[in-house]
């Protein structure tokens, strides 16, 4: 028998606490020391922490606890539908455009090319906020 989908278990209108686990591809040690290749990838753990902090600042999700292991990540998350109800259309648009920016700036850091998101302009936020189908 197939397991139930998250959508059938979690009510989006109630505060819910879940334990989520995300594994790396093929269970490889992409976030720590890989004994097969003798490479050290633990610097990637900081990337994961940065991404978690960034995403939690924009979503109505509280990251209660987490642990980044060498080949998987544990997260304890709390949904906040009570917070979402306070968001207006403009706030939803601002958060979305910050998470998924329309454009990025190319820059070099330590001889490596990085693409840094450009914060959304008020006109972009207003245009998206007025589009009721997308909000």
Q: What integer pLDDT is reported at residue 110 of this predicted model?
A: 86
Name the residue ranges covered by the structural domains of the chain: 8-86, 87-135
Does the predicted model carry a pTM greater than 0.85?
A: no
Q: What integer pLDDT is reported at residue 109 of this predicted model?
A: 83
DSSP string for the chain: -PPPPHHHH--TTS--EEEEEEEPGGG--TTSEETTTTEE-THHHHHHHHHHHHHHHHSSEEEEEEEE-SSEEEEEEEE-HHHHTT--HHHHHHHHHHHS-S-EEEEEETTEEEEEEPPPPHHHHHHHHH-TTT-
List the chain pLDDT tens, one digit each, 135 residues.
Answer: 788 887 888 999 999 999 999 999 988 899 998 888 888 999 999 999 999 999 999 999 999 999 999 999 999 999 999 999 999 999 999 999 999 998 899 988 888 888 888 999 999 999 999 999 998
């Amino acid at each position: 028998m197939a397991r139930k989908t998250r959508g059938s278990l979690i009510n989006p209108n109630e505060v819910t606490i879940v334990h989520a686990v995300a594994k790396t591809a093929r269970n490889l040690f992409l976030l720590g020391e890989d004994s097969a290749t003798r490479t050290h990838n633990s610097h990637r753990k900081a990337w994961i922490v940065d991404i978690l902090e960034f995403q939690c600042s924009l979503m109505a999700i509280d990251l209660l606890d987490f642990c980044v292991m060498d080949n998987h990540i544990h997260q304890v998350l709390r949904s906040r539908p009570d917070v979402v109800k306070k968001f207006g259309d403009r706030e939803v648009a601002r958060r979305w455009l910050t998470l998924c920016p329309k454009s990025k700036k190319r820059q070099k850091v330590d001889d490596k090319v990085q693409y840094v998101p450009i914060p959304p302009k008020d006109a972009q936020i207003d245009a998206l906020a007025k589009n009721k189908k997308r909000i």
